[in-house]
């Protein structure tokens, strides 16, 4: 067994699972901000009920997502001590900011929002949700700053064998950061929109109560998804220019890669400095899914006179298409991270120097333990989401009056 391979498998597994939680969280909170803002402005009950329904699903995903994030963070010290020791002074700065934002500000705002129903003025309660959304985006911002530095180390100098940050602004001006952030954020919005459209379609196909409510959810989710996929494609293709300049080995067949590989061979010794073919395979299938989801625009005209509901076939398509943006997220992550190999920090720190010097058996035990834990959290999350989504918006626990007992979704018939 190879310690490095096991460490990479563990990180790939745990980050993939956590990434899916993050995408749902970021996408749903954006839609929740729209729904609750519309409720405060229009005072229409449909927006309040949608906020409560989708807010409950959001809270479930957020709580379990935080747990996966905590588990994932342990790996930097346990499995990648070489990375922490060599570039921790630079890489750790944006991660520390993200931790303060996500685990303190965002969680505080969310807790006040959850327990503030019917206790705070509607404007104050809405402001808390805006705070949750802003800090969620700030969290994504700093995570992408940190990741982009690993893709293209900038603003540092090496002193006594350790990288030190010398120019903080260079982190924010990193060419591998700007378009990648837009790509990730709009991909998360696509996930949230598809989730809302698919769940609404499920209820409409089964003719569950609250037709008007799920009709509204379908429209919001479908329009959001169609707009988001266009931005996802735009930001995605825009990244090729920056990546070609700073990572010429990533996609192969770049003339600039040869002298760079020669320089690396002289500095780090002979080796294979081209990334595995898996990176290009992931990229190809991600692009294919992106173009497929672009067909969502063809459904928008069917919103006229509710043809998207009358025909029923589009409703089934939306349900079957729900896994596609999640698959694309993982493929995109593979293209970005595997395409950086064999570097932990591109051109600066090889992965074999970044891994912790532990026995293969200990790493295998860690891989099995972490994978089982995060897998359990993921399964629990989706079971809870499916269960609460299937119950519908009849009477979600979130936002219920403190003195109001839960409503019976299936009341017994009354007899005279």
For the chain, give every domain's residue range.
3-387
Classify residue 372 by its DSSP letter: H
Cα(409)–Cα(393) distance, integer angstroms:
10
Q: What pLDDT does 404 receive? A: 64
Q: ∠ CA(277), CA(185), CA(231), 5° rounding?
A: 85
In whole numbers, what is the pLDDT of the chain averaged over residues?
89
Half-sphere exposure of 96 (CA within 13 A, CB side): 7
CA distance 88 to 41: 46
Query: What does the pLDDT read at residue 125?
Result: 95
- pLDDT band of residue 182 (cuts 50, 70, 90) is very high
Cα 401 to Cα 97, 116, 388, 389, 397, distances in angstroms: 37, 11, 19, 21, 9
Q: Compute the distance between CA of residue 262 and CA of residue 273 in angstroms, rounded to an integer.
A: 10
Per residue in 26-68, pLDDT tens? 999 999 999 999 999 999 999 999 999 999 999 999 998 888 8
Closest to 228 measured CA to CA, from 61, 84, 23: 23
Lowest-pLDDT range of 61-65, 75-79, 349-353, 388-392: 75-79
Q: Give the pLDDT of residue 403.
A: 66
pLDDT on residue 409: 52
- In 3D, which of 240, 406, 203, 164 has the Cα closest to residue 315? 203
CB–CB of 54/196 below 8 Å?
yes
pLDDT for residue 192: 96
Name the pLDDT band for 323 (thresholds 50, 70, 90): very high
Which pLDDT band, with edges at 50, 70 and 90, does 407 fall under?
Answer: low
Provide the pLDDT for residue 253.
Answer: 66
Backbone angles phi, psi at 232, to 5 degrees: -60, -45
pLDDT at 24: 95
- pLDDT reading at 218 higher than 60: yes
DSSP tag of 416: -
pLDDT in the model for residue 103: 73
Catalogue the long-range contacts made by 310-317 (C-beta closer than 8 Å, 24 or more residues apart). Answer: 312/205, 314/201, 315/201, 315/202, 315/204, 315/205, 315/218, 316/201, 316/205
Please state, in angstroms and rounded to a whole number, the distance separating the CA atoms of residues 7 and 406: 47
Token readout for 79 is 């499995």
Verify cis geometry, omega within 30 degrees of 0, for the bond prior to 342.
yes
Q: Comparing C-alpha atoms, which of 181, 200, 151 is closest to residue 390? A: 200
pLDDT at 413: 37
Mean pLDDT value of segment 121-147: 94
**What percentage of the chain reaches a pLDDT higher than 70?**
96
Give percent above pLDDT 90 in the chain: 61
What are 162-174's pLDDT values in tens digits? Answer: 999 999 999 999 9
Return all residues near 58 (Cβ < 8 A) that are at least 6 apart: 25, 28, 29, 32
pTM here? 0.92
pLDDT, position 275: 86
Is 101 within 8 Å of 132 (Cβ atoms)?
no
Q: How confident is the model at residue 415 (pLDDT cuts 50, 70, 90)?
A: very low
Higher pLDDT, 403 or 345: 345
């Amino acid at each position: 067994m190879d310690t490095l391979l096991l460490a990479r498998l563990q990180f790939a597994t745990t980050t993939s699972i956590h990434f899916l939680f993050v995408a749902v969280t970021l996408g749903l909170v954006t839609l929740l901000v729209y729904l609750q803002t519309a409720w405060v402005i229009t005072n229409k009950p449909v927006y309040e009920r949608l906020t409560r329904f989708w807010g409950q699903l959001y809270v479930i995903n957020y709580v379990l997502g935080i747990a996966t994030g905590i588990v994932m963070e342990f790996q930097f010290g346990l499995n990648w001590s070489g990375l922490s020791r060599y570039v921790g002074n630079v890489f750790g700065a944006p991660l520390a900011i993200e931790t303060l934002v996500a685990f303190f500000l965002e969680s505080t705002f969310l807790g006040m929002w959850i327990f503030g129903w019917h206790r705070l003025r509607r404007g104050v309660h809405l402001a808390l949700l805006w705070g949750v959304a802003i800090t969620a985006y700030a969290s994504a911002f700093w995570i992408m700053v940190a990741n982009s530095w690993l893709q293209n180390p900038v603003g540092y100098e090496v002193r006594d064998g350790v990288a030190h940050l010398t120019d903080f602004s260079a982190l924010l001006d990193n060419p591998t950061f700007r378009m990648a952030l837009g790509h990730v954020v709009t991909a998360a919005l696509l996930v949230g929109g598809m989730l809302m459209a698919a769940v609404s379609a499920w209820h409409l196909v089964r003719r569950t109560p609250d037709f008007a409510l799920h009709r509204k959810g379908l429209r919001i989710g479908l329009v959001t998804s169609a707009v988001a996929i266009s931005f996802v494609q735009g930001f995605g293709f825009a990244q090729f220019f920056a990546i070609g300049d700073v990572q010429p080995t990533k996609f192969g067949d770049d003339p600039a890669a040869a002298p760079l590989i020669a320089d690396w061979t002289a500095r780090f010794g002979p080796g294979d400095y081209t990334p595995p073919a898996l990176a290009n395979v992931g990229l190809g299938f991600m692009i294919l899914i992106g173009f497929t989801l672009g067909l969502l625009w063809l459904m928008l005209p069917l919103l006229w006179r509710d043809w998207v509901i009358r025909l029923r076939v589009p409703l089934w398509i939306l349900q079957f298409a729900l896994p596609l943006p999640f698959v694309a997220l993982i493929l995109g992550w593979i293209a970005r991270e595997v395409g950086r190999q064999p570097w932990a920090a591109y051109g600066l720190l090889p992965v074999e120097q970044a891994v912790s010097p532990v026995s293969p058996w200990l790493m295998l035990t860690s891989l099995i333990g972490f994978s089982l834990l995060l897998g359990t959290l993921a399964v629990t999350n989706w079971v809870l989401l499916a269960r609460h989504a299937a119950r519908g918006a009849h009477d979600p626990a979130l936002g219920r009056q403190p003195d109001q007992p839960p409503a019976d979704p299936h009341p017994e018939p009354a007899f005279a």
